[in-house]
Structure 1
Amino acid sequence: MNAHARMMYLPDTMTNWPWPRAINPHFEDVKAEVDASFRDFKALSPESQEAFDKCDFEHLRIGSELMNVYFIVDEFTDSENAAGTKAMVDIVLDALDNPHKARPQGECILGEISRQFWARAIQTASLPSQRHFLDSYTAYLRAVVVEAVDREQSRRRSIDDYLKLRRDTCGAKSAFAVYEMGMELPDEVFYHPVIVELVDCIIELILIDNDMLSYNREQATGDENHNLVSAIMLELSLDRGGAMAWAARYHTDVEKKFIDGRSKVPSWGASTDALVKEYFDGIATWARANCCWSFEAQRYFGTMGPEIQQTRLVPVLPKVNYKDTSVVAQVNVTDLSKIDATVHREQPSGGLECLILWPQVM
């Protein structure tokens, strides 16, 4: 039977971003080691393990392990109710507070995974970076619980209200701690209002891109309420193309705010200033890496990522019954390559011409 689905246009938000794609030369070796040790936990279903194996994470040992922790926390909590999510979050927080304490038998595997990650990280991470990570990662986990409550209640937030929550649920701020693990950045620097504002800019860029690029998968699995595109559509009464255009303009505004804001950074002396510059170069590169990863891994676009990155056109996946099977089994993004589409033009309510495709799935 033939099925029809639209294709959406993804604006190219990173065209003018000054930080290019870069990858650590030791990445492949470290990734292989980390993935092998993580696979030993046998924490994922075969379908989720397949999705995990398709993801490439661009950092050395601690960063790679942290990305794996994010992935599995996301997989475990994405379909949980609020009570189940809170129970998992409490386990993870207790493991981080007690990295040298054996976890209880029969406990959710998230506890041991988190404990081992943090026990290794604190061996080399500076004390300021440890504090900063724990503060921001705790905020991330608490926000994941709020997201679960929203999901349970089918709550849809306004743009501003959504962004306040999403800045934490995207997890970017705690991930940035990887860049300062070898630094001694004093709290007076780290929490300076100008520094905080610039960090928030990069978080915004990451979440905007992530929500635009993951929207297709999330709308298919019924999880689109926690997505900026959906919040824009709801509050501004825009169609999908108009919401994507609005998000792209917002992305441009945030880019400018970050670039202009760097001139306002105070000086704390040559040595500290050099660390601040290194830190900002790192998190600015993360914004680029997040976008590249979304196309180069297969989590969102299957094997068509490079092609979609060029054409900016992606088939809208059909709705699935989220509760029947795993997300990976439901949303087979690899099947995008089987689509034969014809093109016509349509003007979305946002005012930006958007290509809409009516494909035929064979």
Structure 2
Amino acid sequence: MAPSLADPVRPSLPTMDHTTDDNVTAGEVELVVPDMFTSIMSVELAQNPHYAEVKKEADAWVAEILGYSEKQAARNSRADFAYMVSWWVGPHCDAETLRTLIDWNHWAFYWDDQFDEGHLKDDIYGAAREIIHMMSLLDDGHPGVSREEDPLGYIFQLVYRKFQKRTSPALQYRYKKYVEQYMLGVLAQVNSRKADLKTMTVEEFMVFRRATVAAMPCMALVEYALGIEVPEDVINHPSLKACQEVSVDLVAIHNDILSYKKDVLSGEDLSIINILRSQGWTLQDAVDETGRMLDGCYQRWYEALLKMPSWGSTTDRIVSTYLEGIRNISLGCLLWSFWTERYFNREEGRLVRETRRLRLPIPPPPSGSAVKV
């Protein structure tokens, strides 16, 4: 069996009371968020040493390609996708490879924002056309895309061609499959905006959410970055698939907690917290339940390791590296969530991580429901 990545015994942690801060003003609520750095998330990661230099290059390049104004370029720099990626791969890849992963994430976040808060948010037909176009760029026979006429397509195609140069047809197929699953999930997200949250269970929502967080394509990119390739029969083993699902779920749950303030301010309804609220949970109880969901993820990870067979020393080493890599995707995204200014300013992110207290405007009831905070 592939070796465990962390001690399955969780440390005893102090509990946090739910006493409201005296400084919370009218129209605000303060939430106590779960401790997200326990179990397999408790390890110390090493950051890639090329982070600072490659961030500067990648930020300048994407600003030029996408025609950012000075204000937009500064906002993108503060979002700092390079910071997130630099934890995924640690010291195990060179500057050129790190740059490829950063470029992909610049594409992914900008592309995804069109469907979250941009012009395709409620346009199912426009969303479908955009997805068909992007998928066509992964066809080996597709001509090169003009950076002037289609800057997002140019970035997407360029990254894939760099990926192709150092990967086998099998890993290229895996990447394409994961990208397709993600894009179909985005299309379902656009279509779901008409749905009544009260009719959706948490389990149903998680099936939907797994496809929309773009974590699966990142797993193929991490294989590329770490210089490994898990054999196809091994990657499809139930134990490996269970660990993939846990990694994706951790990204989704962490994101739905830490982006909740941003969601409230932007009027976004679709989140695990709002699914629970629509079913009658108070806001704090819904957040507490996400903590129990995280505990369930850790349990599923260790159960998968217990059922994982050995494929021989060579493959087991590859599997062990892969498991560490997909765990680091989750942990890198978590570290980034407190650092990036997409969700908080830098000081607020530091305080939320240290105190586990998140202050935000009192959110309205989820669409189609009558619930209380």
Q: Shorter-chain TM-score: what band?
A: 0.7 to 0.9
Give the Å deviation of 1:294.
0.4
Cα distance change of structure 1 residues 199 and 178 upon mapping to structure 2, 3 Å threshold: same
Give the Å deviation of 1:189.
0.6
For the pair 1:9 / 2:32, whether they are aligned, the reply is yes
What aligned pairs does 1:63-82 form with structure 2 within 5 A after superposition?
63-78=101-116, 79=118, 80=120, 81-82=123-124
Deviates more, 1:43-52 or 1:187-196: 43-52
Give the Å deviation of 1:107.
5.2
Cα distance change of structure 1 residues 89 and 239 upon mapping to structure 2, 3 Å threshold: same
Match for residue 55 of structure 1?
79
For the pair 1:94 / 2:136, whether they are aligned, the reply is yes
Match for residue 190 of structure 1?
235
For residues 68 and 278 of structure 2, what CA distance do their matches in structure 1 show? 34
For residues 293 and 126 of structure 1, what CA distance do their matches in structure 2 show? 30
Give the Å deviation of 1:104.
6.8
Q: SS at 1:19's partner residue?
A: coil
For the pair 1:170 / 2:213, whether they are aligned, the reply is yes
Cα distance change of structure 1 residues 102 and 178 upon mapping to structure 2, 3 Å threshold: closer
Q: SS at 2:79's partner residue?
A: coil
Deviates more, 1:114-123 or 1:8-17: 8-17
Identical amino acids, percent of aligned pairs: 24
Residues 22 and 285, structure 1, Cα contact 8 Å, conserved in 2:
no
How many correspondences in the alignment? 319
What aligned pairs does 1:28-177 form with structure 2 within 5 A after superposition?
28-42=52-66, 48-56=72-80, 57=82, 58-59=85-86, 60-78=98-116, 79=118, 80=120, 81-98=123-140, 101-103=143-145, 108-151=150-193, 153-156=194-197, 157-177=200-220
Q: C-alpha deviations, 1:144-203, integer Å up to 9, x for none?
A: 01101112x254232122111111101111111122122232210111111111111111
For the pair 1:296 / 2:342, whether they are aligned, the reply is no
Query: Letter of the aligned partner of 2:99 in structure 1?
Result: R
**TM-score, structure 2 normalization:** 0.79
Match for residue 352 of structure 2?
308
Q: SS at 1:243's partner residue?
A: helix
Residues 233 and 239, structure 1, Cα contact 8 Å, conserved in 2:
yes
For the pair 1:276 / 2:314, whether they are aligned, the reply is no
Gaps of 5+ in 1: 321-348, 350-355, 357-362
Q: C-alpha deviations, 1:91-149, integer Å up to 9, x for none?
A: 21111224761337985532222111212221123333221111011110111011011
Cα distance change of structure 1 residues 221 and 88 upon mapping to structure 2, 3 Å threshold: same
What RMSD in Å do the two structures reach over aligned CA positions? 2.5
Match for residue 227 of structure 1?
271
For residues 259 and 165 of structure 1, what CA distance do their matches in structure 2 show? 24
Q: C-alpha deviations, 1:187-237, integer Å up to 9, x for none?
A: 10111111111111111111111111111111221112x2111112223x1
**TM-score, structure 1 normalization:** 0.81
